[in-house]
Each structure stands twice: as structure tokens, then as C-alpha cells.
Structure 1
């Protein structure tokens, strides 16, 4: 072969070239897993897709490079015997995690891009190479979110606050709801036990229903507390009054009852009726007692007068007897 007549290109490679040196080359072959770059005639190095960017979201090298691109890279490994070389491009840029605490301190606010969902949260990229997770419970203070897709979409920007830094695993814990004050501090003063509020039934399930309340908060109602005064059960989209029967700030939970609203009104009505009836009875009793007292007092007055009259008559009778006796003694027969 003709090529055997000339020295192998690797044998002509600069003997002083070493790991860590910067080289410039042209992309000659592309594959999903990386790009082959020719840094000297006949000498190629592989830039693996994971070494192209600090970002963890590059799925294919074609997203980053194409044949013919001239790139600058750093030598990561060099094996002259095996004639293999691996290169890296991201090493030319500072590792964003080196000074992560300075750029993204806990409590700082940033704009991130939604990259992926899981059942428990949203994965976002704050910048190339800096990823974070917003737990589903940190998306909203008030909404009950079953899946993150109900709240945002992949590719959208979302405002975040840094809650925690995990430098070892290169992950930030982020929050979205923390951009606002905790409204449950205010809700605690509004949705007090036994207070009544207008709400709309938004969902009914096996154990009860979800009710939309004022200020964007939701409450839970068990099935037995959905019963209306006419015996029917509340339906979706129905607007009714609900009484707060349980409030938990820590659990962010408001338990409601529509049944209690009309039951308590009925009880109050019954109590008022009994109270009114009792007052009426008391008034009648007082009137009767007063009448009896007047009658009794009148009777006593009459009896006293009669007694005085009888006593007077007795005195007169006694006087007459005494006078007669005295006359008889003076004139014996």
C-alpha cells in the first residue's frame, strides 16, 4: 500500500502535545454519541457529547456541532500507542458549579427554563450546566396540583427562588411559590372555624368534593357534608355557602360543610322559637301571679275588715252583758 511508504500521522504528532493542552481542529465525522475532530492531518480525536457542554440536556451531538465546524478543544486523554485521543469543549468554559454559592446563593431569584417533568416535580435549567428541581409542593401555595403539567409546560420560562444547594450531586432545590408571601398567614384570619363563605364545587370524587373558595384557595368537603336542605347532594359547578369546620395552616387544608350551614340555621331558628315561647310563658305567669297577688291582698283586706267588725260587735255584746249583770246585782229580787 502507498500509505505504508509514508510515516503514520500519529508518529508525526508533536511529541510535546499533552493532556490539558488546547488544540484546534475541524469536525470530520458526526455520530449521535459525539464528533470526530481532525487536529492534524490523519490525527483525529473524539469529543463525546457529554464533553461538549456543561449542560446535561444534550441528547445528540448533532444538536451542538456539524461536519465542517472548526472547534477549539482541550485534550482530556492521549494514548499514542493505541493512537486514541479524547477531547473536551466544555473545559474551555468555567465549570458553573465551581462558584455556585456565589452566583446562586440560597434565597436568590432567577429565571429558569422548564426541561422535564416527573410526578413529583419540575426539572429546570437555570443556565447551561446548572439544573434544579422544583418540587410539586413548591409550585403553589393554594392550588392542589396533581401533576406539574397542570401548572407549566416544557420549554417555558419560570421564575424560581434557590432553596438549597447540593454541590456534590450538582443540583439546586428551587421553589416558585416562595416568590410570594405565604397567603396562609392571611387565610388563618379569614377562614376561621364556623365562618361561612361562598364556594363553587369544582370536582366530586369518591370521598367528597373540592370547593373553590375566595382568594384562589380550595377546600375539601366530605360526601355527607354535601347534602342540601332538600336532601339532594351538591353537584359540580354549584355555588353554595360553606361553613369552615377545620383549618390547618401547616397542612394547608380547609375542611368545609354545606350541611352544617342549614342545620345550624335551623337549630338557631328552633332555639329562637323556644326562647320566644319561653318568654311568652314567663310573661303570662308573671301576669297571673300579679293578678293572684292582687286578689289575695284584696281578700285579706276584706277579711281584716270583717274581723274588726266582728271584734267590735263582740265588745259591744260583752259590754251589754256586763251592764245587765251589774244592774241585777244592784236590784236583787
Structure 2
């Protein structure tokens, strides 16, 4: 009985405990429902702030409101999300959906490989994939950016505004520009003028005008030229109002040609001619300036109708020729730089805008300069003497030989006329020999002064280059820089004693050296010749000596006359025949017997008179 009573008591106690536990469970369930309801209200309020929640809605009503709010998201929609986790491959982003959205980690890796995202970051994302059944949400931050850029492009285009971009690289026909999206900049729209070096614009930031765009085709066309033209037009109007003669302005080199520089004065172009760049020599403007250089110029003239502006740069400084007379007096020594060489001389720059000419004749006292390059080179600094100055003609004559003593001034004292000198043959020409003396002075032995007696056709027949010879100083012409020498003068002239050795009337013998139509040349000794004129060959009429004689024949003739000054000896053959006739007559007269009649006496007298007459006539001819 006791056992039964105990069992009943235990059962009653267990029943009470179970009831107590059930009450606790119900209380906990009620508390959970309340918390879940509170959380649901918060989530609904967060997702749908426009929906008013009173707190009296049932759990089912709240979940309905929550579900309806989630359905508002669509693929392609841009929303704001918060990073809640950064993984190796994905970044989880809370966009207010019951499941987190995922973004590929590649969208956050920069060029150096760094991951640029952290928990808590907020940014706009675009919903790429929305799978409600699988509760999968794929997001993209890059595409969200592009959507925003397209919206901005539309706003800028509609407002006729501008957009900033970076030229990333060259492409066919133009450039690729990063404006958040890749846009195309045609080459013709990159600048006001054709671009010579297109690579210079790459990686630079500019303002652009949107010419057209097509979101569906992902096509955007930009222009920089439109903005430059508008800016230029504003500058042009301001520049036109400011331009006036003699005004000094700043400009930018726009283009360079061989005849000058085109300068942009601010929407208005002016020409700076090459002759107005500098007072000095300018071979080509590109030697001094490049496209894009800023320069200062002076307005020389302006044609308002044709809008032509002539510019000057050298006019900003005084003309150096106005002070040249004071700076470079005649006879003064100056230093200058060789800037140009011509066949006739060298141009020396004394200062910018002032150049002098050294003629080839003023480069050396003794050398024959054929080209100035034998003495100077371009770029060389040299010393010279001012010989003449004509500032009105902008000419200065210079000389470099004047910086040294003139050897011709002392040569006559060193080698007076009659001095015997010795030197080597430096050159041989058809008219004579050039003998080196000293100080680069050469003496000339004319072909006629080589020998007293020899007939020389060319000096090379007797001498060769490098031979050492002796000669006599014949004449020194300092004015014309000529030094005359003679070789034959080192010996006495054989013609001085010809008259003593070959007396008039003397019978001589010689060898025929030449036959001409007018006579026969006979060599009496080496270098001494006599001429038998054709009229003195025979009493008979001789048409040509060649019909009677040959070169090399030995003949005998009579000396008719001698002219030592002209070096001529006249000979006669027929005079020998006259002498023979006279001898015959004399012998005949001596051997005649006395005449027996007066006729004989008369005959002897006539013969004697004839002999005397012949002798008288012969004496007259000799004289």
C-alpha cells in the first residue's frame, strides 16, 4: 500500500513539473515570436521606408511586406551595398536582401596586384543576376560605374557641357580616351592643326566635347578641336582689338618654314620673316625656334582687310651697324667667328648682325690661296684687321695677313738685285721655273732666262722638280709680289764677243739647223746661229731653200752684218760668188798683154773700173 501511494505521489509531481516546463516553453516561444516580429519590422522599414509600419501587423503581414519589398530589385538595377566579408575569390555585399550579393575579387585588384576593398566599404553596385529560387545575387561595381558614366554622358551632352578624359593610346584614325568609359577621339578633332607627333598627346589629360554617343553600341565620339576653336575665337576678338603698329606682343610659334615663322598671337596669326628674326645671319628659322615656343615680337604692320600681320624680332634691339664705326675703326684688330665660306673669301661674325669679309687675296702675303678653306674653317675664332668700313652698305673688309709682317717689305733688303741665291725647284710650268726662297716666297725663272744660247721649248727638258739650282736676282716687284730670277745670268753672255769673233766680211762655215721659206739657219757654234736670207743664197732666183739644201749640210758663207742686241747674224752665200768674180777679173787684168790699139787700152780701163765699182757697192752693203 505504501508503495502504491508513493508511486501516485511521484506521478502527481511529474505532472506538475511537465506543466511548469510547458509554461516556460510557451513563454520562450512568445518571446522569440516577439523578437522575430521586431526584427522583421526593422528589416521592412529598412527596405521600404515609404511603407508605414504600426506594429499591430501580424507576423504573416510583416513577412508579406518584406517579401514584396525584396521583389523591387531587378537585374540591371543600381543599388548601394555594404561590404560584409572579403574572401579569396569573392566579396560579399549586403544590399538589403535576405541573401548577400557576391562580387568577383578581380574588380578590386589594381595594376600592382593589391586588393583595394575592406569590410564596411559602401559603394554602388549593379545587380547582374537575381535568382530568387536559388536566392543567388551576383553584383558588379564596375558595371555600376559605367551606368553612372552613361548617365553623366547623357547629362553633359544634353547640357552641351564638357568632360575630362585621359588619352590612353593611339588607335587607327585617332586616339582612345578614358572618360570612365573608352571613347574615340578622331585625329582631326585632336587639335586645331595637324599633329606631327601624335605620341606626345598620349597619357595627357584634356577637356573634351561629346560629339555623339550610342549606349546600345557602346560608342562615344569626342572632340577637343571644338573647344579650342571656341577659345581661339574669343582670343581672336580680343587680339584684334589690341593689335596696333609697333606694339610688342607675346605669341606662340605655330609653324616654321624656310622663309619665316608663323606666330599665333592669340587667335590671329602673324608672319615673322626670316630677315626680321635677327640682325645676324639665320640660315633656317628652325635653328633658333621650335613649334610651341613662346616668343616676343613687334607688330611691324597690319592689314585689317586681309588680316595679315607682319612681325619683327630684331626690331626689339638697336641696329648694331649704327655703332660699327666707333667699335671697328679702320686699322684696328678684332676677334670674330668664321660663319661662312665662299669661293672668294670668308665671312666673319664680329657680333650679332655685323659680319665682315676676308677676301682670299687678304689671307696670305706669299701663298696663292685658291679657297679660304686652306686657311680657316667654319666656327673658328680668328684675329683680323679692319681694312675698310662702309656702314651704309653694311660692309666691313677684313684681312688676316695684315696681322703679320709683310715679308715683301724686307725681301729687297735681304736679296738685292744681282744677288746669287740657291734654292730648290718647287714647280715647273711651260713658261718657267718656280724656285723656293724663304717665307713661302717663290722666285720665277722665265724660260727666256734659262740659257743664253739654247732654244728651250719647255723647262722640263733641262730641269726636274726638286733640283737645286743657282740663280741671279733680276727684279723684285713688291707691289705685284713678283720675284724674278735668272739662271743664264750666272754666266757671261756669249753674244757680247760675237762681233770680235765673227767680223763683218769674214768667211765662215757652219751646219744647217733649219730650213724655212725665207732662208737658211746655220749654226756657227753652240747656241750661235746665222741666217742666210733667201735673197743671199744665189744670184739666181731661188724660190725655196729646201730645193737646194738639207738640214745637216755644211755650208760656207760670208758675214754680212752683226746685231748683238737682237742676237742676229746676217750671212750671204752669193757674196762669195761676187768675190770670186772680182778675183778672176783682177787676175785677168794683170795677165793681159799690152794692147796694140786704143781699143785694148779702153777695154782694160773698163775692166778696172768695173772691179772698183763692185768693191764700192759691196762696201756700201756691208755698212
**TM-score normalised according to structure 1 size:** 0.70
Q: Between Structure 1 and Structure 2, whose CA radius of gyration is higher?
A: 2
Q: Secondary structure at the match of 2:396?
A: strand
1:8-30 deviations in whole A, cap 9, x for unaligned?
Answer: 75433253432111111111212
Counterparts of residues 32-181 of structure 1 (less than 5 Å):
32-40=258-266, 42-56=267-281, 58-181=282-405
1:112-153: CA deviation from partner (whole Å, max 9, x where unpaired): 233344444333322221122222222122223333333333
Q: Provide the C-alpha distance between the structure 1 equivalents of 2:409 and 2:322, rounded to a whole number of angstroms.
A: 38
1:234 to 448, 463, 477: 463
In structure 2, the partner of 1:304 is none
Q: Distance between the aligned counterparts of 1:179 and 1:147, measured in 2? A: 20
Match of 1:252 among 481, 484, 492: 481
Q: 1:234 to 1:114 in 2, by over 3 A?
A: farther
Which ranges of structure 1 fall in alignment gaps of 5 or more residues?
A: 268-333
Structure 2: any 5+ residue segments left out of the alignment?
A: 1-225, 496-623
Indicate conservation of the 8 Å contact 1:10/1:80, yes or no.
Answer: no
2-structure distance, mates of 1:5, 1:65: 25
Q: Is the 8 A contact 1:143 1:218 kept in 2?
A: no
Indicate if the aligned counterparts of 1:227 and 1:233 stay in contact, CA closer than 8 A: no
1:224 to 1:23, Cα distance in 2 relative to 1, 3 A: same
1:28 paired residue number? 254
Q: Secondary structure at the match of 2:392?
A: coil
State how far apart, in whole Å, the 2-side matches of 1:203 and 1:227 are.
Answer: 18
The answer as to whether partners of 2:240 and 2:268 remain within 8 angstroms in 1 is no
**1:306-321, aligned counterparts within 5 Å?**
none
**Distance in 2 between residues matched to 1:206 and 1:226, nearest whole Å:** 12
The change in CA–CA distance for 1:154 and 1:259 in structure 2 (over 3 A counts) is farther
* Structure 2 contact 474–484 (Cα < 8 Å) conserved: yes
| Pairwise CA distance, 1:242 | 2.4
Deviation, 1:100, is: 0.7
Give me the whole-angstrom Cα distance separating, in 2, the residues matched to 1:6 and 1:182: 67
- Map 1:4-15 → 2, pairs under 5 A: 9-13=235-239, 15=241
CA deviations on 1:143-197 (whole Å, 9 max, x unpaired) are 2333333333344333211111111221101111111233222112012111122
Q: Distance in 2 between matches of 1:216 and 1:6?
A: 69
**How many residues end up aligned between the 2 structures?**
264
Q: Distance in 1 between the 2:344 and 2:260 partners?
A: 32
How far apart are 1:99 and its partner, in Å?
Answer: 0.7
Q: Once structures 1 and 2 are overlaid, which stretch shifts more, 139-148 or 95-104?
A: 139-148
Q: Is the 8 A contact 1:18 1:78 kept in 2?
A: yes
TM-score, normalised to structure 2, is 0.39
